[in-house]
Structures are given as C-alpha cells and as structure tokens.
A and B are shown apart, each in its own frame.
Chain A
Amino acid sequence: MGKKLLLEHINVPGIQSLEVYRKMGGYASVEKAIKTMSPDEIVEEVKKSGLRGRGGAGFPTGMKWSFLAKPVGVPRYLVCNADESEPGTFKDRYLMEKIPHALIEGMITSSFALGANTSYIYIRGEYFYVSRILERAIEEAYAAGWLGKNILGSGYDLDLYVQVGGGAYICGEETALLESLEGKRGNPRIKPPFPAVKGLYDCPTVVNNVETIAAVVPIVNHGGDEYAKIGIGKSTGTKLISAGGNINKPGVYEIELGVSVEEFIFSDEYCGGIPDGRKLKACVPGGSSVPILPADLLLKTSTGESRLMSYESLSEGGFATGSMLGSGGFIVYDERACIVRSTWNYSRFYHHESCGQCSPCREGTSWMEKILHRLEYGHGRSEDIDLLWDIQRKIEGNTICPLGDAAAWPVAAAIRHFRHEFEYHAKFPDKVKDTKHTPPPMPARVAVG
C-alpha cells in the first residue's frame, strides 16, 4: 500500500470531531507554522514540495503563492475552491465529509502563510449537507482557539467562513468563483489581472483546491523535501483519485503519483478490474475535460512505455496520443459503451454549463450538442464529423476561460480515436436508433503518425 498523507486516519471512529482529529496529530502544522515559522518560510516549503494544484490545472502551488501581491494596508484573501463539479470527480466531497478538520487545518496554516485574516471555503450548492459538516468543524475550531483572535497567543487573527454556491460548474473557474462569491453571475473575468493581484473585492487573493490546501498540512509537518521524495519526476506527493464507471471497486483512492495505470485499474488494491469479465474499452483519466483514450493508449504510451498515474506520463504524446491527470476523475468504460453517446452526453453538459459570455463557446457548445444528438439518434450525416471537428477547433483558445477548451477537447479526442464509431452512426442510422445499440468493434490499430 502506498503512503497515505491525507487519508491515513480516515477510518478512525470519530475523526470528524476535533477531539479525535487532534488526538491523531491534527493541528500540529498550525502550531509549527505559527510558533516556529515565518510566512515566507512556509511558502518556501510548499515550493520545495513540488505540490501542484490538485483541482485539475496542476499549476505549481508554491509559485502561485509567491505571486500574491502584498500592498500595505490592503487585505489579502485565501479562498478554497470546493466547487468540485468536474464530471467524474468526487474526491473533495469525500475528504470534506469524512475528515473536515483536514481542510480547516490546511486553511489556517495556509492563511497564515499568505497573510490572510479572512478566508472563505466556496462550496458547490449541491454539497449543502457537507457545508454543514464544515461549519460544525469550524465552530469546534473557534471554540478551541484555532480560529478567531490572537491564535495561540501569536497576535494572528483569522476568520473562516463557508460560502455555498447555487449550482454552476463554471464557478469552479477561479475568477467565476470570485464573481459568485461577490454575489453575481458566474462570469469569468479576463486575466490579467490575476487574482493574486486583483481577486476577491479587488484585493490580492489566492484560490486553491480543497486537496491542495489539505496537502499543505503534511508538507509543513514533514517539510517540503520529504514530500518531494514521494511520487515521480515533477509529480511529487500523493493524489486523490476518484474512480468510477465500469469498475468493480469505485471510490476514492490516495495514490503515490507514479503508480501504473494498469495496476490502478486491475489490482485489487485499487479498482479491482472490470465487472462481469468485460473488456476495458476506454478511459477518461482526469475528469470529463481531458481527452478520452482507447485502452491501448491508456495502458501504454505511443512509444510502448507503461503509462503511469502522473502529470507527465498521462500527458505523454500530447493530445495526439495522450491525455492529462487533471482532477483525477478517473472514468472507466467497458466494451458496451457507445463513444458517440458518451460524447453527446458531455456536449450536453458543457452546453448547459456555458456561462454565455463568449460567442464561440455559447454558440459552439449548442451546435455540438445538436449535431451529436442527431448523430446518436440516427439522423446524422457523414459531413457532421468534419463539421464537429471544425467547430471544436474554432472554440479552442478563443474564449475568456478554459470551459471552451474543456468543451472542445472531448469532441476532438472522441473523433481522433473513435472516428469509426461516428462514421458507423452516420452510415447505419437504423442500427443506432435503439439507445442501447452495440458500438462497432475497434478497427486494427493503424500506425500512429
């Protein structure tokens, strides 16, 4: 079993409570940080750790922290992105529900490092019951003196609040999140300026994912260098993977980055293989926005190397033959899955979630959904495939925020790797009129150029 930095104590009875959490060593990082370290020293440790944003983008956290502007007399904010809405991803919900103090502790230590005296956890509205769990944990922390005025007699004050959203995937984008936190529609802002300079209420702000902030705790406790010893290459530490789809043991797994994808899917230690003796067909390894891969390119790179669960290995080959670690929303498809139906499903998602600001996204996601719908329901034409390719290509890179790219990439990847299924739908509409139609088999692999 790999090292567990976040979920080590998750099964200890009562770990939701401050009393048990403290007994298991909780809040040690707050003591260490506030009593023995300067904010800059903490930022240094996070830099040394190599921790990368665990929400999906994988941006180096220490670098993001170091960008925070520090004008005198202007408040700074730390905002936790608990908007978890990337299809396939449920690891933040698991962490917040089962071990809420892990996030609270991380928020306190991180807020201290960043010089924030008021911090917010922005949580998606659908997780309302989880927001109650977090609020109870925060009350416990205030009562025990970990929050509020003059924490540990240091003179450092911190208030922490939970902010509930209203149902919008786009609010997982950091600037749309800030707009929502300010009480507005979730329309992303043009960057620059970045939140580090002008964020919440125009003040310097850092927005970090739940898991990223929770990871600060072991980094401060053991040091950045120790954290960096785990993992592989530039993928240091552990990552929470939410595994779902057609597997025997769906759930959240904390893995050391670098485990092989094959082991992750088939070993009993993790997903336990595909049920009912079915075959692995495809996988979206990092949340719906990352390219879908057919089984052969999932398990091995195009150069024949074993594919590993890491940022570098999953991206090997770029989008031509690779994908991304992303949010770790690991969706496994068995041989029954129709890729055209899957692509239509995602296209409906992105169309629904588009905020509407940018024409390529607002119009393009609508067109892609319509075209994929008619292909899937037996009214498609062979020209539709090139039309889809053209539309996604014209959305990508032409929008204020990455939702446009996220809508384009699944369509591009599905056509790139499963074009034969789209052609089948266009050529044999009667064969696909039943919504449970069997997809055609994969053709023999042509040499990838």
Chain B
Amino acid sequence: MSNQTVKFSEEAIAECHKIIKRYPAGKHKSSLLPILHIAQAENEGWLSSATMDKVAEIIGITPVEVYEVASFYSMYNLKPVGKCVLEVCRTVPCWLNGAEELVSYLEKKLNIKVGETTKDGMFTIKTVECLGSCGTAPMLQCGANYHENLTNEKTDALLEKLKAENSRKSYTDII
C-alpha cells in the first residue's frame, strides 16, 4: 500500500462518469480499461494500488477486478516511470529497418538501459511490440504521439524537444 495521495480532478471524474454511460445498465465494468488510462494520466503515469482502489470505487467494482486487468495489459504501468516513456517498437518490420540500432542509440544518449529511468526522472526506455507503424520504421511512441522514420539526427531533435517541454506525456493527451 503506498502513501501516495490519489489525484483525480473534477474533469477527470466527470469524464469517467460520461464513459460509464456508454454501456447498458449493469455493465459499467466495461468502463474499466478507458478509466484506467485516465487514472494513469492523473497520477504521474503509473497505477499504485491506492490509485487502482480509487478506480474501483469510482466504477463500483472490487479492487481485485481492477488489479487483474491492470496487470494484464501492457500500457498500464504498475511502477513509477519517467515523464517521457520512450516506447521503441522492436518487432520484425522495425527490426529490418534499424530498431535495434535505435534502442542502442537511446541507451547510449541517455546513459540508461531498457527498462530504466534517467536520474532526473525525465526519460524511461521501453521496448514494445508492433505499433502498426511498419511503413515508417524505425519509430517510437511517447504518450499519444508516434515519432516515425527516426534517424540519429531526428532522435537527437526529439530528445531536445521533450527536454525543453519538460512535461509528462500521456496517451490521453490531445495532440
């Protein structure tokens, strides 16, 4: 159990209730996956058990029903992550176009290994499976954005831009 205070703005709660209305009576559990994205975006990009308990309360289901879903799907982080999670696709079509070199380049530039976060809490590197961007490989996803056709130069520029913006990137960002 963490001591983290769970954050849920009024807008976020309103959004959750709007989502719950999409389903027939008694089927509010269907809102769980969309609401977990909101909960993660509201709480530093990860889901503590306290956050998941809050989600259970908002929807009206038991905590274990939330834990079992959060632990199944790859986009939900159950541990803290950096402000910018750099999710590099490494499946075959990207591999054929230099994905492994891209991962090595990022590890060298940021001085961390895949799975780790930089000391300033800015960047985390993750390798992920096919993101549906095989025509613009190699590439990475950061929050809602796809960054495609990456070269070393473009990667440098991206890292500079993200550092300058210095804000958390979430899947739910409107881009």
Contacts and interface: CB of A to CB of B under 8 A. Distances in A.
Interface of A: 75, 84-90, 92-93, 118, 124-129, 132, 159, 161, 163-169, 180-186, 201, 242-246, 250-252, 284, 288, 329, 331, 333, 337, 341-342, 345-346, 349, 352-353, 355, 435
A85 B129 contact: yes
Interface stretch (B7-15, B24-32, B151-159): B24-32
A414 to B, nearest CB: 12
Contacts of A167: 73-76
A341 B90 CA distance: 12
Given A128-B171, A345-B91, A87 B130 contact: yes
A243 B135 contact: yes
B33 to A, nearest CB: 5
Contacts of B135: 90, 242-244, 250-252
B58 interface: no
Most chain A CB atoms below 10 A, which of B74, B91, B132, B145: B132
B174 A88 contact: no
Interface stretch (B78-86, B95-103, B105-113, B116-124): B95-103
B175 interface: yes
A171 to B, nearest CB: 8
A90 B33 CA distance: 23
A161 B22 contact: yes
Given A166-B75, A349-B130, A352-B129, A185 B69 contact: yes
Interface in B36-86: 36-37, 61, 65, 68-69, 72-76
A125 B132 contact: no
Contacts of B166: none
Determine the main DSSP class of A at the interface with B: mixed
B76 to A, nearest CB: 6
Contacts of B96: 244-246, 331, 333, 337
Nearest to A352: B129
B100 A435 contact: yes
Contacts of B134: 87-90, 242, 244-245, 250, 329, 331
A166 B36 contact: yes
B137 to A, nearest CB: 7
B93 A245 contact: yes
Point out which of B61, B128, B131 has the most chain A C-beta atoms below 10 A from its C-beta.
B131
Contacts of A92: 132
Contact of A132 (B92, B100, B133, B174): B174
Given A124-B132, A125-B75, 20 more contacts: A84-B132, A87-B92, A87-B93, A87-B134, A88-B130, A90-B134, A92-B132, A93-B132, A165-B73, A166-B69, A166-B76, A168-B74, A181-B30, A182-B27, A244-B137, A246-B97, A250-B136, A331-B92, A331-B96, A352-B129
A356 to B, nearest CB: 9
A189 to B, nearest CB: 16
Contacts of A184: 29, 68-69
Contact of A183 (B29, B76, B175): B29
B123 to A, nearest CB: 19
Contacts of A118: 24
A180 B72 CA distance: 10
B33 A163 contact: yes
A448 B131 CA distance: 37
The 6 closest A-B pairs by CB, nearest first: A166-B73, A244-B134, A183-B29, A167-B75, A167-B74, A183-B32
A168 B100 contact: no
A439 to B, nearest CB: 13
Most buried by B among A86, A129, A331: A129
A54 to B, nearest CB: 15
B18 to A, nearest CB: 11
Contacts of A90: 132-135
Contact of A163 (B34, B131, B133, B171): B34
A342 to B, nearest CB: 6
A331 B30 contact: no
A41 B72 CA distance: 42
Contacts of B95: 341-342, 345
Contacts of A165: 33, 73
A129 B145 contact: yes
A101 B129 CA distance: 28
A436 to B, nearest CB: 9
A147 to B, nearest CB: 13
Contacts of B132: 84-85, 89-90, 92-93, 124, 126-127
A201 B73 contact: no
B129 A169 contact: yes
B171 to A, nearest CB: 4
Most A CB contacts (10 A, CB to CB) among B72, B97, B141, B174 go to B72
Contacts of B68: 184-185
A168 B74 CA distance: 7
Contacts of A252: 135
Nearest to A201: B27
Contacts of A127: 132
